[in-house]
Structure 1
Amino acid sequence: MDTGTMGRLPSGMAICCSIPDILYLPELVFGGLVWILVACTYIIPHNPQSYVMAVSLFCFIVTFLWMMFFACGSHNNRASWAAADVGYHFLASVLYLSAAVLLAYVTLYLTADGYSYKLDIAAVVFSYVALVLYVLHTIFSAIRWKSF
């Protein structure tokens, strides 16, 4: 990792080449997979699945918008944007942690049929992958913020 560029916020296509910004696309892919797989299942009660859907949809939309802000260069390379990046990804990490644990619980104890069980297992795995990606993004964003 180049420490000379760690203190700068990338813009344009540079977000595809810098850590932690390269993690935006995998976050979108795995978050979208969680969203799609949870939408394909039917479990009673609906509340746990609704929370997981809300978290995955919220994080998908905000991550996409956040990536667009960086790609368009709207941040003007300010430290406040670096701090906001750490804050958002920390919030997304906490939300995904709660959603992944809840989804694992629902899958283990409330899923009855085999087809839905396989979809839920895939959703659990992808939610934990998304969680790890958001945690890594938080850590690397915090390192970048501290080097400002």
Structure 2
Amino acid sequence: MGEQIFGCWVWILVAATHVANPLLQGWVMYVSLTSFLISLMFLLSYLIGFYKRYESWRVLDSLYHGTTSILYMSAAVLQAHATIVSETNDLNNYFINTAASFFAFVTTLVYILHAFSIYYH
């Protein structure tokens, strides 16, 4: 649940800035939005009770969160680069990009922790 909240913040903050590097921040938007939607589907599946029916639920959940953490790490690094580049353009965009970078790294950490906690639980 935490990864969805932080990922939503990344998505909102990147959307609120003037996009200086469309390719870099496009990847950040794609990863954050796609991860948010798939994580929401996992949450709904969990609430419905699919995890009780299938033995491989933990493996699937751990693989998804592990893969997403790798994708989010790449997005966080690209967002940090976009933040460094935006420093010279506009101070307001710089602060928003800084917050987006922070939340991207926090989201990456939460996905990693979720993947390991499911796997070792």
Contact 2:17 2:97 (C-alpha < 8 Å) held by counterparts: yes
- Separation in structure 2 between the aligned mates of residue 82 and residue 72 of structure 1, nearest angstrom: 15
TM-score, L = length of structure 1 = 0.77
| 1:114 matches 2:114 | no
- Decide which moves more: 102-111 or 120-129: 102-111
Q: Where in structure 2 are the equivalents of 1:95-110 lying within 5 Å?
A: 95-110=71-86
User: How many matched pairs?
Assistant: 120
Unpaired stretches in structure 2, ≥5 consecutive residues = none
- Separation in structure 2 between the aligned mates of residue 35 and residue 45 of structure 1, nearest angstrom: 15
Q: Once the two structures are superposed, what CA deviation does each residue of 1:79-104 show, in whole Å capped at 9, x if it has no partner?
A: 21111001100111001100000100
- Structure 1 or 2, whichever has the larger Rg, is 1
Contact 2:21 2:82 (C-alpha < 8 Å) held by counterparts: no
Unpaired stretches in structure 1, ≥5 consecutive residues = 1-23
Give 4+ residue runs of structure 1 displaced > 6 Å after superposition. none
- Aligned-pair identity (%): 35
Aligned CA-pair RMSD: 1.1
Question: Between Structure 1 and Structure 2, which shows a larger proportion of helix residues?
Answer: 2
- Separation in structure 1 between the aligned mates of residue 16 and residue 90 of structure 2, nearest angstrom: 13
Shift in Å, 1:75: 2.7
Q: One-letter code of the match for 1:118?
A: F
| 1:72 matches 2:48 | yes
Q: Once the two structures are superposed, what CA deviation does each residue of 1:112-133 show, in whole Å capped at 9, x if it has no partner?
A: 2001001000000011110110
